[in-house]
Amino acid sequence: MSTGWTSSRPASFSIIVHGGAGTIDDSQEPRHRSGCERATHAGQRVLLDGGTALDAVVAAIHVLEDDPVFNAGRGSTVDAEGMVTCDAALMRGEDLAFGAAGAVAGVANPIDLARAILEDGKYSFLVGPGAIRFARAHGVRLIDPSQLEADPSRSKWWTTRAEKPTGDTVGAVAKDARGRLAAATSTGGLLGKYAGRVGDSPIAGAGTYARDDWGAASATGHGETLMKVLAAYAAIRAMLAAEPSEALVETLEEGLRRVGGRGGLIAALPDGRLAWARNTLHMGYAYALDDGAVVSGF
């Protein structure tokens, strides 16, 4: 178990991202750190310019989805039929607005589709071909699905993952200067998953949750287990009663122990402090408070 939090002081605005929890080859650490740092910088720039927490997490996820080292967007893995399908979700803590897409193929940045669904407001969760039609109608960029496939240099460590995969996902949570919170999560799902499988990432409360007066969280790991304990929601609720890092550990140890799961969490408090935890071997992450330097870990 590894955990931490920015206990020193509250922040006017802040952001933290993760690049997925699991077992990652040591040779990939520099790329994971660099990707998380660049994503954090992108979100921090939005916040420095007075942008919203929602804008910041979308900007951060864009960087991660465009980086083939991560299992999201461009770097997504294939399912059992050799197809690439992605899930993504976005939640705004101010009004609990939520947008999610599941099992979508050929969306350049799945987080953009999640945002289009959130902003349209009529639906909260769209999947499959219907989601693609919605994306086309709302100007979300579509590409050939073959362009969304993991970097060949990662193939060895993908195919030698443990029999019980812990998953690999990207996420971001942020607080802006007006006190608004947002959370975003995006993933290509489990390597070799059954076609049509959707994990925890796009499920409100499981992989993604934000509420301004409570906190915001993004989860990563084995989706089938994270769903069962509503990991993101449970972490936020636990932070209301305990030190943030202890709350995340409690969620991972007590909640996931019951269902045999492994994973990681990042979270933001209403006062801008940040927390992170994992019970896997690795989880790349990076964060920034106000206009301070970006800090990363693995």
Contacts of 56 (CB under 8 A, 6+ apart): 15, 43, 44, 46, 47, 172, 174, 176, 182
Catalytic residue among 3, 40, 52, 169: 169
Tokens of 248: 């995340």
Residue 182: half-sphere exposure toward Cβ, Cα within 13 Å: 31
Tokens of 49: 């310019």
Contacts of 8 (CB under 8 A, 6+ apart): none
DSSP β-ladder status, 274-278 and 2-5: antiparallel
Of the candidates 3, 277, 24, 30, which has an alpha carbon nearest to the alpha carbon of residue 165?
24
268-to-16, 62, 93, 178, 249 alpha-carbon distances in Å = 8, 20, 11, 14, 15
Q: Is 169 a catalytic residue?
A: yes
Residue 204 carries which DSSP code?
B
The span from the CA of 158 to the CA of 173, in Å, is 27
132-to-39, 67, 94 alpha-carbon distances in Å = 26, 22, 28
Q: With contact defined as beta carbons under 8 Å apart, do 217 and 102 qualify?
A: no
178-to-39, 40, 96, 282 alpha-carbon distances in Å = 21, 19, 16, 33
- The catalytic site residues sit at 169
